[in-house]
Amino acid sequence: MSKEKGVNVQVLRCRPFSEDEVFTFDKVFGPSAQQRDLYDQAVVPIVHEVWEGFNCTIFAYGQTGTGKTYTMEGECKRSKSGPNGELPQEAGVIPRSVKQIFDTLEGQNAKYSVKKKQLPLMEDGKGGVLVRGLEVEIVTSASEIFTLLERGSTKRHTAETLLNKQSSRSHSLFSITIHIKEATPEGEELIKCGKLNLVDLAGLENISRSSARDGRAREAGEINKSLLTLGRVINALVEHLGHIPYRDSKHTHLLRDSLGGRTKTCIIAIVSPAVF
């Protein structure tokens, strides 16, 4: 990945929309790809960058029901981890990154503090944004994070759509900050700070095809608008435009934090034939 200023976008798990459109992806994972394949090939290098003190963001983007929450969270809450603390096969990007981070910290016998927060960000249907239960907690083990994660997920607003019985109707941001104390060869103390933002976006929805009505249709419209703005911000960053339209979004702060400056960004675009 480039260490240049600006955004570095990788797109995974995707395919062209029509025969005459061509998209370029860094990696493509087919339907038989396992959670571990995606994690090892696409996410492990990003977590290494966090370790080097970079801010890194991973977005799961795609239509409703295509597998964003499955990719980010997986089914680890329902299946037990193995006897040596290894994660179940179905565990997604979030539990795997938490494990990778704590395994490294424990392996290094390092002095560390980890802050974690999970924020469900909802469109309120009237043009505003609700941030539910904004809190930051200091954690000292992976299992503490898993408990918090479970609490956060149960608070997330879901509704049934035509394509997903339990559709997430809010964006969810899981953010983990690591402060590492290091000593220079001269004996000076150095604090390195890296941050990993893992974002499970609410699903895009074709309202006419999904037959959403009233409040649900308004909510879907707001979600689509919010994702469109995110797309514009990413395009502006990729094309190195002078003006990045962060302010067009109600999530200005979130977008600046997860895309701005020297943040390295990976987009997992998930597309399922079922939505065509």
Ligand X SMILES: Nc1ncnc2c1ncn2[C@@H]1O[C@H](COP(=O)(O)OP(=O)(O)OP(=O)(O)O)[C@@H](O)[C@H]1O
Q: Of 10 and 167, which CB lies nearer to ligand X in the complex structure?
A: 167
Alpha carbon separation from 76 to 37, 80, 132 (Å, rounded):
16, 7, 23
Burial class of residue 125, CB neighbours in 10 A (0-12, 13-18, 19+): middle
Q: Does 95 bind ligand X (CB under 6 A)?
A: no
Q: Point out the residue whose Cβ comes nearest to ligand X.
A: 203
Interacting residue with ligand X among 1, 70, 115, 157 (CB under 6 A)? 70
Q: Of 153 and 161, which CB lies nearer to ligand X in the complex structure?
A: 161
Q: Of 80 and 243, which CB lies nearer to ligand X in the complex structure?
A: 80
Q: Of 153 and 164, which CB lies nearer to ligand X in the complex structure?
A: 164
What is the chain's alpha carbon radius of gyration, rounded to the nearest angstrom?
19
Residues of span 161-200 touching ligand X by CB under 6 A: 161, 164, 167-168
Q: Which stretch binds ligand X (CB under 6 A): 64-72, 126-134, 208-216, 237-245?
A: 64-72
Q: Does 226 bind ligand X (CB under 6 A)?
A: no
Distance between CA atoms of residues 274 and 3, nearest Å: 37
Residues of span 143-162 touching ligand X by CB under 6 A: 161
Q: Of 64 and 118, which CB lies nearer to ligand X in the complex structure?
A: 64
The contact set with ligand X (CB under 6 A) reads 62, 64-70, 161, 164, 167-168, 202-203
